[in-house]
């Protein structure tokens, strides 16, 4: 037994074969088949066994692939476009030109970021346009109605950009224009009221 390179190594003594009856040393070069002891003349069968060659550390080739993040025994066939996790065929979900893992799929579904899975969409541009149009007859209250219409129209424009859609974009722009006009008229009305009140003092 010795220590070489920080590793403990053991050297085994050579195996000595003997006659099964008297123990007399037998020649090391034996063949398969019937053998006769030279001393006691005992007949016995001999089977030659060649030990396997010593194996070193097995290094996996670089082309062997990467295991799946969820199933260690499965080979990864792709990676999630959202989080980068390696996925096997069981985990990979193709949806709206995205390849995502089950965890990211659930998150994107909850966030409403997958258009094909949406069951309900809030149309902010339509809401903004409706508020702005309703605010025209009540333009004196433009300081209240105008900002609301502008906020919803900005949400609608951002929604169109996120979803790569162009529907109702014109309504959003018109809502901003009407909202600005209503705010301006509302400011004029407020200034007029303040002037009237100032004269009566």
One domain, residues 146 and 191: yes
Q: Which of 11-20, 107-116, 120-129, 180-189 has the lowest mean pLDDT?
A: 11-20
The pLDDT confidence band at residue 160, using thresholds 50, 70 and 90, is confident
In a domain, 53, yes or no: no
Range of the domain at 146: 124-200
Note whether residue 59 is domain-resident: no
Indicate yes or no: pTM above 0.85: no
Q: Name the domain boundary from 74, 96, 117.
A: 117
Q: Are residues 131 and 184 in the same domain?
A: yes
Contacts for 186 with CB less than 8 Å, ≥ 6 apart: 139, 140, 141, 142, 143, 144, 146
């Amino acid at each position: 037994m010795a220590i070489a390179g920080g590793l403990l190594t053991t050297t085994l003594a050579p195996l000595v074969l003997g006659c099964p009856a008297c123990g007399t040393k037998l020649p090391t070069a034996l063949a398969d088949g019937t053998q006769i002891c030279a001393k006691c003349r005992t007949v016995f069968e001999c089977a030659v066994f060649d030990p396997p060659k010593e194996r070193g550390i097995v290094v996996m080739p670089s082309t062997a692939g990467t295991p799946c993040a969820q199933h260690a025994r499965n080979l990864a066939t792709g990676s999630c476009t959202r989080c980068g996790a390696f996925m096997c065929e069981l985990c990979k979900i193709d949806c709206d030109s995205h390849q995502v893992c089950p965890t990211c799929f659930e998150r994107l579904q909850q966030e409403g970021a997958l258009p094909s899975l949406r069951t309900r969409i809030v149309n902010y541009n339509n809401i903004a346009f409706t508020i702005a149009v309703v605010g025209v007859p009540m333009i004196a209250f433009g300081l209240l109605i105008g900002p609301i219409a502008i906020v919803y129209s900005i949400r609608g424009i951002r929604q169109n950009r996120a979803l790569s859609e162009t529907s109702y974009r014109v309504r959003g722009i018109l809502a901003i224009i009407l909202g600005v006009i209503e705010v301006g008229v509302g400011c004029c009305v407020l200034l007029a009221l303040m002037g009237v009140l100032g004269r009566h003092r």
